[in-house]
Amino acid sequence: MATVAFKSLRLLQSRANLHLGCGISVRQLSFSFLGPKKLEDVLKKELVEGKSATEVADLWYTYHEGKEDVVGLVLNGADGKSVLSRATKCPFFIQPIFRDDGFFNLVSQFQSPCHFLLAYLEDYKMDPHSASPLMTFSVFDDYADSKDVTLVRCDIFNKSIQIEEGRKVVQSLLDNYRKSEEFTSIKVFNERPAAFDVDDHISRMNKTWVDYSSANLTSIPKSP
C-alpha cells in the first residue's frame, strides 16, 4: 500500500504556528491510503465501452449496492471536474457528523489527483502523525469529458462511522465544493482561517444533515 500524507496548506507553510478553523494546526498527517487508487481498480474499461452516462451510472450503483462499508455515488462531468479543481486550491475542510446525543467533527484533506482523506478532528489536533483515517472517498473523472459522468467511491474503514453517516459526509462535502455559494466557506477556511465562523458552519450543516436521505443520495443533480 502506498503511503500518502496530509500536506500543509501552501499559503500557510511559512506560518507553522497558525491554526486553521477549530484549532487545526498546519502539520503533516501520514497514513496508508486503503481505498482504490485508480478507477480501473474498481471498474474495467471494457465494461463501459459503448455505454451512455446513464448506463455507466447504473452499473456503478449496481456494483456498490449491498457492499459493506462502501458507497458509490455519481456526479455529472462538469461538477466532478469543478470539485477536483476547487479541492486542489482549497484542500482542507471540516465536516460534522450529527447524532441524537450531539455531534463530532471530521477533518478532510484533498490528496491529488482525486482523493479525500478524513480523520477525527480531535485526533488530528492532538497528533496529526498518529491520527488514523476513518474513511476516504475518491472522485474519478475519467469519463467526465467523454460521457459526462464522474464516479465517486467512498470507503469506510472505522466501524464507528455508520454507512449512512459516511454517505452523508460525502454528499455534504461534494455539495460544499461543487456549489459556488457553499464553496465560499471552504475558501475562507483555507485562505483566511481566522475569519472562519465555526459556530455558523456547524449550524448550517446541522440544518442540511437531515435532508441527506438515501432517496436523494443515489444521484447528484447538476449544479445550477
> pLDDT tens, 81-99?
999 999 999 999 999 999 9
Alpha-helical regions (H) of 71-209: 77-89, 121-126, 163-178, 180-191, 198-209
pTM here is 0.83
Q: What are phi and psi of 193, to 5 degrees?
A: -55, -30
Percentage of the chain exceeding pLDDT 70: 79
Q: What are phi and psi of 34, to 5 degrees?
A: -100, -15
Q: Average pLDDT for residues 8-18, to the nearest whole number?
A: 31
Q: Average pLDDT for residues 180-207, to the nearest whole number?
A: 93
> In the prediction, which pLDDT does 40 show?
92
Q: Identity (one letter) of the amino acid at 155? A: D
Name which residue leads in pLDDT, 25 or 199.
199
Helix axes 180-191, 163-178, angle to 10 degrees: 90
Q: Is the peptide bond before 113 cis (omega within 30 degrees of 0)?
A: yes
> In the prediction, which pLDDT does 23 show?
53
Band the pLDDT of 1: cuts 50, 70, 90: very low
Contacts 24+ apart (CB under 8 A), 14-19: 18/193, 19/193
pLDDT greater than 50 at residue 224: no
> In the prediction, which pLDDT does 130 show?
74
- Evaluate whether 124 touches 24 at the Cβ level (below 8 Å): yes
Cell of residue 80, nine digits = 466532478
